[in-house]
Amino acid sequence: MAIEESILKSTKKILGLDATYAAFDLDVITHINTAFFTLNQLGIGPAEGFMIEDNSEEWVDFTGGTVNLNAVKTYMYLRVRMLFDPPGTSFHINAIQEQITELEHRLKLEREVGQWRTPVQFP
């Protein structure tokens, strides 16, 4: 079985949605793009930012093939899950929030080891 490279399809799959079921695509795409905005502010990904519009954009388009950025896939799932279908208990919410925080920290460390790019700062 090949790994799904489409950002939208793989995110939908990990959320438990069928890749061919398009009823929630606008919601999922919106939340994916919000997560990409956050990653951009952390200095991860292309300096000019990144967004998807459909299922044609692939992970390699964002990561550039950098293997150590595969954690972005998990980060994306967790961020989208919290916006699209948040857990029903505070314990589960806290556990996901802790995973998000740890992944943000580790991705920032990876950025510092690799190519440094100053995070976006607002006045």
Residue-wise pLDDT tens digits, 11-54: 999 999 998 999 999 999 999 999 999 999 998 988 899 999 99
Residues ≥6 apart with Cβ < 8 Å to 122: none
DSSP letter, residue 18: -
Domain assignments of the chain as residue spans, ordered by start: 7-113
Tokens of 68: 């150590």
pTM of the model: 0.87
pLDDT of residue 120: 59
